[in-house]
Amino acid sequence: MEAKRAIPSADQRWPWWPLLPLYPYGRKRTLVRELIPDQLWSVEQLQGVFYVAVPIRMTVARVRGGLMLYAAVAPTGEVRAALRDLEARYGPVQTIVLPTASGLEHKLAVPPLARAFPGAQVWVTPGQWSFPLQLPLAWLGFPMTRTKVLGDNGFPHADDLRWASLGPLDLGLGRFQEFACLHLASGALLLTDALVAIDQKPPDLFNLDPTPLLFHARDRGDEPLLDSPDRRQKGWERLALFASFLRPEALEVPALPALFSRAFRPGCRSPRTYFGLYPFQWRSSSTDAFAQLQAQAVDRLLVAPVLERLVFPRARPVVVRWLQELSRWEGVRWIVPAHYEAPIPYSAAQLSRLASAFEQRPWAPDQGNWGYLANLDQLLVRSGVVPSDALD
Ligand SMILES: [Fe+2]
């Protein structure tokens, strides 16, 4: 049920973007896909900083008598219309789940989504935190009369779903926790941030707007945004490297004079090219670095490096135990994370193999592409912001 008709831009309006000022700001295009016939749907949008835009997914699962929404995306008119279509066929949205304690990008859309579906119960991961101020959920717009806490108040749809917590981990700044959810009817294991399968090719979502790919396919800020399949591929590889390592090894940040000398030139005086500002310079092949990143995967899945190095660097046993727990569940056939590709065919045996691989391989390394993340982590530990103890 891909959205093929032309969508009026008013239906893509997202007035709450100043809460988390990420690309594509006030206009969000959405791709809706059926992942498993009559059981599971993916609702995808782009989210990012400085055109480092990665796909974010809300998964819609069919439960007895209606639908459950796992990890919210912005409920634009387009999204609400797609959900109304599904409601007409499968019953009302009964439940909206915020499956993470820390992932702000999955949280901000929950209050407006809850307002769009006033009959739905909202379930949140415990220990929600907001930065820089610790605000009560009600102040953030959560409807307290119909909001419950996963674990503390039980779990929704016990007949249709199984739940397993990764964490909580004390990160000093706040806590990390996310809930995996197995949808028994389809065998899809829904995850939030912990594991991803990074698409080899640009995700279909970029067919709606390839600008972020074309932006990064360039080597200098004064190059125009040219479109071709090769350039989209190159741009995608670079986006994935940014999102994974924040600052990959192959990347050099040009000195400010060089940066500004190339900006504001004729042909690049438009916001679409950020006026020619392009603070990235690749000194070696981003394609090789992308291949290395993919090579870390076990049967396509990996821990996002930014999580492994900044959230789990001292918590390998916690991640391994969680995977072992999931591998004991019967009926796992697919993995559906909240970012990048889905669904990934996956079995319990593969989850167990993933746990062993994580136990044996080097964990949260310091070298190469990991260097920038490692420096950040060491800085946070040295300044006492995050605890240095091993978490097990
Ligand atoms: Fe996320």
Q: In a structure prediction context, what are the per-residue pLDDT tens digits for the chain, which is 392 residues long?
A: 444 456 767 777 666 555 555 566 567 889 999 999 999 999 999 886 656 778 999 999 999 999 999 999 999 999 999 999 999 999 999 999 999 998 788 988 999 999 999 999 999 999 876 555 566 777 778 898 999 999 999 999 999 999 999 999 988 777 899 999 999 999 999 999 999 999 999 999 999 989 889 988 988 767 788 999 999 999 999 999 988 988 888 777 655 555 555 555 555 555 555 545 555 677 778 899 999 999 999 999 999 998 999 889 999 999 999 999 999 999 999 999 999 999 999 999 999 999 999 999 999 999 988 998 898 888 888 888 788 877 77
Q: Where are the domains of the chain?
A: 9-197+301-355, 209-295
Give the pLDDT confidence score for residue 72 in this predicted structure.
Answer: 96
Q: State in Å: Cα 60 to ligand 1 middle.
A: 16
Q: Which residues surround ligand 1, an ion (CB under 5 A)?
A: 103, 193
Give the pLDDT confidence score for residue 21 in this predicted structure.
Answer: 53
User: At the top level of CATH, which class does the domain 9-197+301-355 belong to?
Assistant: alpha beta
Q: State in Å: Cα 56 to ligand 1 middle.
A: 7
Q: State in Å: Cα 166 to ligand 1 middle.
A: 14
Residue 340 neighbours by CB under 8 Å, 6+ apart: 54, 55, 196, 197, 198, 199, 203
Angle CA(193)–CA(194)–CA(198) in degrees, nearest 5?
Answer: 75
Give the pLDDT confidence score for residue 247 in this predicted structure.
Answer: 80
Q: State in Å: Cα 57 to ligand 1 middle.
A: 9
Q: State in Å: Cα 82 to ligand 1 middle.
A: 22
The residue to which tokens 């909206």 are assigned: 96
Token pair for 232: 């989209």
Q: State in Å: Cα 339 to ligand 1 middle.
A: 6
Q: State in Å: Cα 180 to ligand 1 middle.
A: 13
The strand pairing partners of 252, in sequence order, are 281
Q: State in Å: Cα 168 to ligand 1 middle.
A: 16
Residue 167 neighbours by CB under 8 Å, 6+ apart: 101, 175, 176, 177, 178, 318
Q: State in Å: Cα 261 to ligand 1 middle.
A: 36
Q: State in Å: Cα 55 to ligand 1 middle.
A: 9
Name the residue type at position 390. A
Q: State in Å: Cα 234 to ligand 1 middle.
A: 23
Q: State in Å: Cα 262 to ligand 1 middle.
A: 34
CB neighbour burial string for 244-270, b if at least 16 within 10 angstroms, e if fewer: bbbbbbbbeebeeeebeebbeeeebee
Q: State in Å: Cα 107 to ligand 1 middle.
A: 9
Give the pLDDT confidence score for residue 114 in this predicted structure.
Answer: 97
Q: State in Å: Cα 106 to ligand 1 middle.
A: 6
Name the residue type at position 204. D
**Cβ proximity of 54 and 243 under 8 Å:** yes
